[in-house]
A and B are shown apart, each in its own frame.
Chain A
Amino acid sequence: ETGVTQTPRHLVMGMTNKKSLKCEQHLGHNAMYWYKQSAKKPLELMFVYNFKEQTENNSVPSRFSPECPNSSHLFLHLHTLQPEDSALYLCASSQDGDSTDTQYFGPGTRLTVL
Chain B
Amino acid sequence: AQKITQTQPGMFVQEKEAVTLDCTYDTSDQSYGLFWYKQPSSGEMIFLIYQGSYDEQNATEGRYSLNFQKARKSANLVISASQLGDSAMYFCAMRESTGGTSYGKLTFGQGTILTVHP
User: Chain A residues in contact with chain B, CB under 8 A?
Assistant: 31, 33, 42-43, 45, 48, 50, 55-56, 88, 90, 92, 94, 96, 99-108, 110
Q: Chain B binding site: helix, strand, loop or mixed by DSSP?
A: strand
Contact of A100 with B33 at beta-carbon distance under 8 Å, contacts A42-B111, A43-B91, A110-B43 already known: yes
Contacts of B52 in A (CB 8 A): 99-100
List residues of B (21-77) whose CB comes within 8 Å of A's CBs.
33, 35, 37, 42-47, 50, 52
- For A101, the chain B residues whose CB sits under 8 A away are 33, 95, 102, 104
Contact status B108-A103, CB under 8 Å: no
Contact of B35 among A50, A102, A106 (CB under 8 A): A102
> Can you list 29 contacts pairing A with B, beta carbon distance less than 8 Å?
A31-B104, A42-B4, A42-B108, A43-B45, A43-B106, A45-B105, A45-B106, A48-B105, A50-B103, A55-B103, A56-B103, A56-B105, A88-B43, A90-B43, A96-B104, A100-B33, A100-B52, A101-B33, A101-B102, A101-B104, A102-B50, A103-B47, A104-B47, A105-B46, A105-B47, A107-B42, A107-B44, A108-B43, A108-B45
